């Protein structure tokens, strides 16, 4: 019994603390979106809020990184992100070019600080 | 708005969506992001099938990153749930902004259940870009095809990253983890064509950093509401001035 529970626990946790707290916001959206069109002011405002939250997640992942990325200095991470973004702008908004240059700058920076 | 694509049937629209997913820039972005995610799951000692299931059920990279690092790191379950939920608040306005594009007069709520679950950054950005140029009756099928293509890509590359991570030195593993914020930053910026969206992006980056550094509780929620509302009001003021 205990062995089975140890096996199953990560999957039960995935449902309870991963799937449900995440999915509830989609469900709220489905309920609230009835009767709205894409030009409604609440929809325009919602788009701005969604974009700002996503930007917050991006900033947190770059500035307050954990794991193996946290082992690379903050200056290198932020500098690499800036390099990537400049490349993105210089290539008429190519996501691929931006990510590639950002990754290259991160590896170069890591190598320069002796990692 | 010019029509960019028409389909003979719903099945063709679905297949068109899958094809669009596999040939878009997001294919590479998702592949990179989920290679990073696989590396993360491996690092925290979670099973590769657990990661695949989280991709299908959670289907939101930031929430998955938080879930893997906090649950895998042994944080209290209630804390994990709260952090995941806060990162997912953005899905609410995304669904609200997306569904009016998908709906027709005869659309039933159950037709919208799958698109609602599929709503995530990649699908949302591409749907908002592609759907307006498409006849309304095929938008749901196309969007579902797009999502299935993205989800299959993500799940597949999650396995790739999981098995790669076992072999890579720390700097390269860090570079894999860097893929997630970089791909999100570029794809959000690419979609931010209107001034309001660009302002919301910049304000979100600044507020997210400041509020986290200041250890403010519910920082993501305040980042979104504060930055988003400010961007919205600047947009309204400019409209009124014109």
The full set of domain ranges for chain B reads 10-180, 192-242
ipTM for the assembly = 0.82
Would the pLDDT of A19 be above 90?
yes
| Alpha-carbon gap, residue B35 to A71, rounded angstroms | 19
Tokens of A105: 């700058």
Tell me the whole-structure pTM to 2 decimals: 0.75
Q: Confidence class of residue A38 from pLDDT cuts 50, 70 and 90?
A: low
Judged by a CB distance cut-off of 8 A, whether residue A47 touches chain B is yes
| Confidence at residue B184, expressed as pLDDT on a 0 to 100 scale | 81
DSSP per residue, B94-136: HHHHHHHHH--TT--GGGGHHHHHH--HHHHHHHHHHGGGS-G
- Number of residues in chain A: 115
| Confidence at residue B219, expressed as pLDDT on a 0 to 100 scale | 80
Optimal mutation site among A9, A15, A22, A31, interface B, most CBs of chain B within 10 A: A22
Shortest Cα–Cα distance, A49 to chain B (Å): 4
Binding-face residues of B in 64-93 toward A, CB within 8 A: 64-65, 67, 69, 71, 77-78, 80-82, 84-85, 87-93
Q: Are A19 and B174 within 8 A, CB to CB?
A: no
Chain A residue with minimum CA distance to B204: A52
Q: What is the pLDDT along chain B (242 residues), one digit of tens a residue?
A: 334 578 899 999 999 999 999 998 789 878 988 998 898 898 788 999 999 999 999 999 878 988 987 788 787 888 788 878 877 877 888 898 899 899 988 889 999 999 999 999 889 988 988 999 899 999 999 999 999 999 999 999 999 999 988 788 888 888 888 888 898 899 889 878 889 999 999 999 999 999 989 988 778 778 888 999 999 999 999 999 88
Percent helix, strand and coil across chain B, each to the nearest 5? 80, 0, 20
| Confidence at residue B2, expressed as pLDDT on a 0 to 100 scale | 38
Chain B residue with minimum CA distance to A12: B50
Judged by a CB distance cut-off of 8 A, whether residue A27 touches chain B is yes
Q: Are B188 and A32 within 8 A, CB to CB?
A: no
Shortest Cα–Cα distance, A2 to chain B (Å): 19
pLDDT digits (tens, 9 = 90+) for B103-112: 988 889 999 9
| Alpha-carbon gap, residue A70 to A64, rounded angstroms | 7
Closest CA to B160 of B14, B33, B23: B33
Judged by a CB distance cut-off of 8 A, whether residue B170 touches chain A is yes
Chain B residue with minimum CA distance to A13: B77
First to last CA, chain A: 46
| Confidence at residue A65, expressed as pLDDT on a 0 to 100 scale | 83
| Confidence at residue B73, expressed as pLDDT on a 0 to 100 scale | 75
Task: State how far the alpha carbon of B152 is from the alpha carbons of A26, A54, A91, A98, B223, in Å.
Answer: 20, 23, 29, 24, 32
Q: Which residue has the higher pLDDT, A40 or A13?
A: A13
């Amino acid at each position: 019994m205990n062995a089975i529970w140890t096996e199953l626990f990560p999957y039960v946790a995935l449902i309870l603390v991963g799937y449900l707290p995440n999915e509830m916001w989609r469900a709220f959206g489905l309920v609230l979106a009835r009767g709205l069109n894409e030009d409604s002011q609440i929809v325009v405002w919602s788009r701005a809020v969604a974009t700002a939250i996503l930007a917050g997640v991006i900033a947190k992942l770059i500035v307050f990184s954990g794991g193996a990325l946290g082992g690379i200095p903050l200056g290198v991470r932020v500098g690499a992100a800036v390099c990537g973004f400049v490349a993105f702008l210089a290539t008429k908004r190519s996501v691929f070019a931006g990510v590639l240059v950002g990754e290259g700058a991160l590896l170069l920076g890591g190598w320069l600080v002796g990692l | 708005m010019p029509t960019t694509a028409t389909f003979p049937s719903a099945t063709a629209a679905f297949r068109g969506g899958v094809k669009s997913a596999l040939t878009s820039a997001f294919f590479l972005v998702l592949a990179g992001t989920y290679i990073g995610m696989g590396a993360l799951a491996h690092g925290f000692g979670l099973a590769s099938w657990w990661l695949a299931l989280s991709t299908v059920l959670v289907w939101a990279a930031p929430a998955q990153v938080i879930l893997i690092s906090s649950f895998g790191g042994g944080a209290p379950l209630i804390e994990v749930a709260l952090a995941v939920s806060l990162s997912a608040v953005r899905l609410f306005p995304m669904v609200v902004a997306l569904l009016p594009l998908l709906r027709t007069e005869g659309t039933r709520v159950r037709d919208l259940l799958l698109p609602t679950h599929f709503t995530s950054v990649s699908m949302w950005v591409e749907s908002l870009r592609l759907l307006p140029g498409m006849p309304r009756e095929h938008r749901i099928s196309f969007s579902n095809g797009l999502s299935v293509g993205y989800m299959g890509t993500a799940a597949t590359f999650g396995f790739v990253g999981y098995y790669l991570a076992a072999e890579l030195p720390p700097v390269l593993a860090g570079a894999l983890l860097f893929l997630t914020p970089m791909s999100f930053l570029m794809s959000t910026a690419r979609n931010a064509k209107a001034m309001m969206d660009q302002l919301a992006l910049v304000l979100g980056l600044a507020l997210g950093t400041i509020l986290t550094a200041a250890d403010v509780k519910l920082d993501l929620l305040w980042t979104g509401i504060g930055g988003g509302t400010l961007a919205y009001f600047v947009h309204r003021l400019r409209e009124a001035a014109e």
